[in-house]
Amino acid sequence: MIDFIASRLQSFRHAFRGWWYVLRTQHNAWIHALIATIVLLLGFWLKLSARDWAVIILTITMVFAAEFINTAIEAVVDLASPTKHPLAKVGKDVGAAAVLIAALAAVLIGLLILGPPLWEKVAPLITGH
């Protein structure tokens, strides 16, 4: 039982080390973090429903997961193909495309969930009514 717990703790250490690596080395991860923070603050201000929070959290997680997987793909491709190779480029480009798709979906989801209540709050300020 002690070995099981120790190995689980070691797994968490590895995961957090990977998380820290992405945050340290990937500029896009910082952009995702900034936008996620803004979305979370807006969600609190707009008093989102539990279902909307669930979708927002899943969406933020989807973008970060795509970024983390893309970073892993890039590292493995760099290890396997230190010189330029057309297939290495394909692997990296497809990984980047996955992040782009996740980010675009997140923007659409954000607009659908945050747009209407945000408009209700700011429209009177803009129109003066």
Catalytic residue among 63, 67, 99, 103: 67
Distance between CA atoms of 23 and 76, rounded to whole angstroms? Answer: 18
Q: Are 102 and 74 in contact (CB under 8 A)?
A: no
Is residue 120 part of the annotated active site? The answer reads no
CA end-to-end distance (rounded Å), the chain: 65
Joined together, the tokens standing for residue 48 give: 């989102």
- Extract long-range pairs of 44-53: CB within 8 Å, 24+ residues apart: 45/121, 46/114, 46/117, 46/118, 46/121, 48/113, 48/117, 52/113
The residue written with tokens 């909307």 in the block is 52
Joined together, the tokens standing for residue 62 give: 């989807």
Residues with catalytic function: 67
